[in-house]
Amino acid sequence: MRPVGAALVVVCLLLPARAWAVYWCGGVADSCKCGADNPYPCCENGGGKSGNCTWGAWHMACCNWGVGLPPPWQDAKKWAGNYAAHPDYEVLPYPVVNSIGCRVSSTYGHVAYVTGVGDGKVWVHEQGCCSGCWNGFQDSVDGAGYYDGGYIVRKGQVWVCDPGQVDSAGCGNCGTKHRTCGGNGQWEGWGGCEGQGPCAPGQANTQKCGDCGAQTATCNGSCQWDPFGDCAGPDPGNGNLSCDSGEPGVCAEGRLRCAAGWVTCLALNEPTGEQCDGLDNDCNGKVDDGNPQVIGATPPEFAAAFYDGSYPAAIREGEMAAGWVEFRNVGTQTWKQGSIWLKAAGGSQAAVEMDVPGVWPAWDTPAVLLSTVPPGDIGRLEFVLRPRNTVGHDLLCRLYLVAPDGVPLACPTPDIEMHIQVLAPPLTADAGPLAPDVLPADGGVSPDDGEPAQAPGGGCSTTTFPASTGPLSLLILLVALFVARAAAGRVRVGGN
């Protein structure tokens, strides 16, 4: 800081007291040529001393800038604001050489001509107007912040760039603009914005797709559109509109959905393992196929579970023997008397090798239900067997239940497969009548309203086995004959 007395304050103002001629102050003559005379007074500081900061600053600008500064603003603290508003000058917030520093925080302010800058300090050449102040010009060093009003320069006076230097800056949508430093050390105007992208970062573009969807693309940080996202949209009717999916079984019920942008009927249920419930759970177009053993939450109307049964293990050709089967009604409907038929699998009458004309209700129907069976109860069906023309073969026959509508029961176990050995005819010509205890009970129902539909494939067929000879074979035949006549040699299978 400049050396001043403790009670002295540096002021720059026009004093009405003695003032020196404006062409001379502090031993310095106003001799520089700048087209004007110095308009500021010179103060008498006492003791033959004189000076004035405004006179000194004007004088330095005249000698170094070659211009006479605008009309006087008497207080030094007014210089910064007035020159900032002047079209030919500007006030910088930082010090540069050959500028005029302005202090505005004191009562009258202070101005000084800057001769050097460095390390946060400024070197100035200045005059002062104060009692006991120094005479004429002095050189001092201040902190750059001392001149809190800024630093006055002529516009274009300070070189801010090197001539020919090129500056670049971002613009628009990731574009670039350029400017060049002119010969006067000042930046010329910016050129046009080049290389812009089609969008601004974060910008979104949404378009319709399909008949119910929309998709959005987002502008990335390089100002380029990312690919459109998936096509999606709200489900019609908030997803509550029913429709037919076109799939079989439980998969038929659907809901209208906006799938990939298109209104589509999607199945409400996915295929599951088949259950015994009268439904097509696996959606393959077949109900209760594969004899599902698990009863569903709602059983089908007609379903049967094998409970018990008995049939002969061996029969002589031409002889008759009795058999029976029992099934539990596990459906929801009552089995009415005569409504459930026991059928022998086969596609033609020739395939049934054990029917008994006049005894069976039909050539492929060994028995019909003789009593009503509510759900949960057990129904019994009795039948008579007589193999024909099958000596030396094993008789394989599947018996199955048929519902009133002629459709075979599908689950869980509505059938039985019998394996019967057919023996040679008895030794005597008279095979004897069928024992009364193996005949069907009275009250059998005759199918005079038509026969149920036949089950496809399979049937009662035979497989060959070697005929037996010798004493042992004779003994076997005699035992088998006794069993057949007495109905005591049945094979019993099934439940308790």
Q: pLDDT tens for residues 330-368? A: 999 999 999 999 999 865 554 567 778 888 998 889 999
A 10 A CB-CB count for 338 gives: 19
Query: How do residues 377-414 score in pLDDT, each as one tens digit?
Result: 999 999 998 877 666 677 788 999 999 999 999 999 99
Strand pairing of 138-143 and 341-344?
Answer: unpaired
The CA-to-CA distance between both ends of the chain, in Å, stands at: 122
Lowest mean pLDDT among 12-16, 42-46, 314-318, 322-326: 12-16
Name the phi and psi angles at 234, rounded to 5. Answer: -70, 145
More confident residue, 425 or 65: 65
Q: In the predicted model, is pLDDT for residue 234 greater than 70?
A: yes
pLDDT band at 279 (very low <50, low <70, confident <90, very high): very high
For residue 473, name the pLDDT band (cuts at 50, 70, 90).
very low
pLDDT band at 161 (very low <50, low <70, confident <90, very high): confident
Q: Judge whether residue 41 has pLDDT over 50.
A: yes
- pLDDT of 415: 94
Q: In the prediction, which pLDDT does 156 show?
A: 79
To the nearest whole number, what is the mean pLDDT of the chain? Answer: 82
More confident position, 236 or 21: 236
Least Cα distance to 241 among 229, 228, 226, 258 occurs for: 258
- How far, in Å, are 134, 311, 415, 492 from residue 419 at the CA level? 140, 9, 13, 12
CA distances from residue 329 to 43, 293, 303 in whole angstroms, order as listed: 131, 14, 6
Mean pLDDT of 235-260: 95
CA within 13 Å, CB half, 237 = 11
- The residues facing 171 across adjacent strands are 175
pLDDT at 468: 37
> How many other β-carbons are positioned within 10 Å of the β-carbon of residue 473?
13
- Cα 400 from Cα 418, distance rounded (Å): 11
> For residues 461, 369, 404 and 328, what is the CA-based torsion angle, rounded to 10 degrees?
-90
Give yes or no for a contact between 395 and 330, defined as CB atoms under 8 angstroms apart: no
pLDDT of residue 358: 83
Give 151's pLDDT tier (boundaries 50, 70, 90).
very high
Structure tokens belonging to residue 171: 């613009």
- Go through the domains of the chain in sequence order and give each one's CATH number: 19-154 (3.90.1720.10), 234-298 (no CATH), 304-494 (2.60.40.10)
DSSP state of 284: S
* 242 CB neighbour count, 10 Å cutoff: 11
What pLDDT shows up at residue 21? 53
Distance in angstroms (rounded) separating the CA atoms of residues 345 and 327: 17
pLDDT above 50 for 25: yes
Q: Fill in the DSSP letter of residue 468.
A: P
Rounded to the nearest 5 degrees, what angle is found at the Cα of 456, between the Cα atoms of 455 and 461?
Answer: 90
Which of the pair, 169 or 480, is modelled with greater confidence? 169
Query: Is the pLDDT score of 467 beyond 50?
Result: no
Over residues 115-134, the mean pLDDT reads 93
- Distance (Å, rounded) from C-alpha 41 to C-alpha 75? 12
- Asked whether the predicted pLDDT for residue 5 surpasses 90, the reply is no
Is 433 within 8 Å of 376 (Cβ atoms)?
no
Instruction: Report in angstroms the alpha-carbon separations of 66 from 28, 243, 408.
Output: 17, 93, 121
**Bond before 412 cis per omega within 30 degrees:** yes
Mean pLDDT value across residues 24-37: 91
What pLDDT is recorded for position 162? 82
pLDDT of residue 348: 52
**Res 496: pLDDT:** 44
Q: Is 54 helix (H, G, I), strand (E, B) or coil?
A: helix
DSSP strand pairing (304-312 vs 341-344): unpaired
Share of the chain above pLDDT 90, in %: 62
Higher-confidence residue: 251 or 349? 251
Asked which of 416-425, 465-474, 487-496 is least confident by mean pLDDT, the reply is 465-474
Count of H-run helices and E-run strands, the chain: 3, 29
Q: How far apart are CA 330 and CA 495, in angstroms?
A: 15
Contact status, residue 306 vs residue 486, Cβ threshold 8 Å: no
| Residue 110 pLDDT | 95
CA atoms within 13 A on the CB side of 298: 5
More confident residue, 462 or 435: 462
What was the pLDDT predicted at 315? 86
What pLDDT, on the 0 to 100 scale, is given for residue 389? 63
CA distances from 450 to 35, 355, 359, 366, 460 (A): 136, 18, 17, 15, 22
Q: Has residue 163 got a pLDDT over 70?
A: yes
Alpha helices in 66-154 (DSSP H): 79-84
Residue 422, phi then psi, degrees to nearest 5: -100, 120
- 287-313 residue pLDDT tens: 999 889 999 999 999 999 999 999 999
Task: Give the range among 14-18, 231-235, 274-278, 457-461 with minimum mean pLDDT.
Answer: 14-18
Whether 275 has a pLDDT exceeding 80, the answer reads yes
Mean pLDDT in residue range 205-234: 96
Cβ neighbours of 455 (radius 10 Å)? 19
Q: Which carries the bigger pLDDT value, residue 474 or residue 125?
A: 125
